[in-house]
């Protein structure tokens, strides 16, 4: 959530920067500035009325003692009028604050200066590509056929039990899932991240704090009776650990990792590009989250990108890092790097991770602050998160890229976790 004072002081800068996200902020910003003016006017009038009332209240006793009853009664009547005026102004003040808050949450985060202009993924900037594309044997299959051949994943059974996008893992498919989860968690812990096991449902305050609510795209599953939401990522409950918290600057950065199931409605996801594991409504993911000092958050973002790159390299997958353009950047992010792995059988890049710096946008919503020993007033922290990693497309690429004439090879780094070298 953008800082209101910043919007008021620099409206044209906000409007200009959000053009990079293809967001026309003119109407919202102008309304906020106008409401701020009304708020200041109401506040000034209320203060004048309170000052006059205090002055008159002191005079009433004097007038009565001097026997000036009519003047005293008139003064009392005036104080009653002023009380009604102050009450009306306070109500007006409250209404204005509510209207400003409603408009404030409609504004996306400002993009970092390094974010390229663009409308969608076709305009994203490829930062680097790593690894060689595997050469597959004749008759190579996409992962959904390999999953059926080796009895690893049953997509049709998932449709029977729940619906499309809820696969059932079986046998060595389950063991591969658990191996990846444990491998990612171990690597993250070794990098200094404290492991968290969060709830899989959150309340409205948590959804608002990290920017999922208001849910403009209908991506979250809502548990109506309890007014709770199934999490779309562990980022939501983990980051909300620090909601309404004042941290000590010397403890920053704080680093957490968590495994969770994730739930996304993914409205409108149909067709060949979302077949198999390419897009699911329920999937497993390991997340990393950091709470950082504003002066150090972009250095930490680079460290997180390098950490995720190390995970993909240990899985022996060719990958590329992409800097998202303004039009592809999320509502809450200031700068995001996507990781994509090469799917040899599908001949396409599959996104497996997003690593983002939200700067103060989430922290402002969360009231997440820190206190520096040199400053009495708490400051807003920066939040960052990344997938380390999301499992479905990693599994898809591992199955496709490592298929041989006699089975599917398991990367060396995973063998201690799977207990087998080949499927």
66 appears as a binding residue in the annotation: no
343 is in an annotated binding site: no
Tell me whether residue 353 is annotated as binding.
yes
C-alpha distances out from residue 189 to 52, 118, 238, 388, Å: 63, 36, 15, 11
Closest by CA to 383, choosing from 263, 284, 236, is: 236
Question: What is residue 234's DSSP assignment?
Answer: T
Determine if residue 97 is labeled as part of a ligand binding site. no
Q: 24: helix, coil or strand?
A: coil
| Residue 342 near residue 349, CB atoms below 8 Å | yes
Residue 3 φ then ψ, to 5°? -65, 130
Taking the mean position of all CA atoms in its chain, how far away is CA 144? Answer: 30
What is the Cα–Cα distance from 180 to 178, expressed in whole angstroms? 5
**Is 316 one of the annotated binding-site residues?**
no
CB 167 within 8 A of CB 275: no
Q: Are strands 153-154 and 168-169 parallel, antiparallel or unpaired?
A: antiparallel
Between strands 369-371 and 246-248, the pairing is parallel
354 has binding-site annotation: yes
Burial class (CB in 10 A: 0-12, 13-18, 19+), 98: exposed
How far is Cα 99 from Cα 239, in angstroms, rounded to an integer?
A: 27
CB 57 within 8 A of CB 82: no
Ligand-binding annotation for 264, yes or no, is yes
Does the annotation flag 224 for ligand binding?
no
- 265 in a labelled binding site: yes
Per DSSP, the residues of 294-354 read: TTTHHHHHHHHHHHHHHHHHHTT--EEEEEPPGGGS-SS-SEEEEEEEEETTTTEEEEEEE
Annotated binding site for L-serine: which residue ranges? 233, 264, 287, 385
Annotated binding site: which residue ranges? 233, 264-266, 287, 351-354, 385
Annotated binding site for ATP: which residue ranges? 264-266, 351-354
């Amino acid at each position: 959530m953008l800082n209101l004072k910043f919007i008021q002081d620099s409206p044209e800068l906000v409007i200009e920067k959000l053009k990079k996200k293809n967001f026309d902020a003119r109407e919202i910003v102008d309304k906020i500035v106008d409401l701020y003016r009304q708020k200041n006017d109401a506040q000034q009038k209320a203060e004048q009325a309170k000052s006059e009332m205090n002055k008159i209240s002191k005079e009433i006793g004097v007038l009565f003692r001097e026997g000036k009853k009519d003047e005293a009664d008139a003064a009392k009547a005036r104080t009653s009028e002023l009380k009604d005026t102050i009450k009306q102004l306070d109500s007006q003040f409250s209404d204005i604050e509510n209207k400003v808050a409603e408009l404030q949450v409609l504004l996306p985060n400002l993009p970092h200066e390094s974010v390229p202009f663009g409308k969608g993924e076709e305009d994203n900037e490829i930062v680097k590509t790593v690894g060689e594309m595997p050469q597959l044997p004749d008759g190579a299959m996409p992962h959904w056929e390999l999953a059926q051949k080796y009895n690893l994943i049953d997509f049709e059974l998932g449709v029977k039990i729940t619906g499309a996008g809820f696969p059932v893992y079986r046998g060595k498919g389950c063991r591969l899932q658990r191996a990846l989860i444990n491998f990612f968690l171990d690597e993250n812990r070794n990098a200094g991240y404290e492991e968290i096991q969060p709830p899989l449902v959150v309340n409205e305050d948590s959804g608002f704090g990290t920017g999922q609510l208001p849910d403009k795209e209908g991506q979250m599953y809502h548990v109506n009776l309890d007014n709770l939401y199934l999490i779309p990522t562990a980022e939501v409950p983990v980051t909300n650990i620090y909601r309404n918290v004042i941290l000590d600057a010397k403890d920053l950065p704080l680093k957490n990792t968590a495994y969770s199931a994730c739930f996304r409605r993914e409205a409108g996801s149909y067709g060949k590009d979302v077949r198999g594991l390419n897009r699911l409504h329920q999937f497993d993911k390991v997340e990393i989250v950091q709470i950082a000092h504003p002066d150090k958050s972009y250095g930490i973002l680079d460290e997180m990108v390098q950490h995720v790159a190390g995970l993909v390299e240990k899985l022996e997958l060719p990958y590329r890092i992409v800097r998202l353009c303004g039009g592809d950047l999320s509502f809450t992010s200031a700068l995001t790097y996507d990781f994509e792995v090469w799917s040899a059988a599908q001949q396409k890049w599959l996104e497996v991770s997003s690593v983002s710096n939200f700067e103060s946008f989430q922290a402002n919503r969360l009231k997440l602050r820190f206190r520096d020993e040199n400053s009495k007033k708490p400051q807003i922290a920066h939040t960052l998160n990344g997938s380390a990693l999301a499992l479905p497309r990693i599994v898809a690429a591992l199955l496709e890229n490592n298929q041989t004439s006699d089975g599917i090879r398991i990367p060396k780094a995973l063998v201690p976790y799977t207990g087998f070298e080949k499927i």
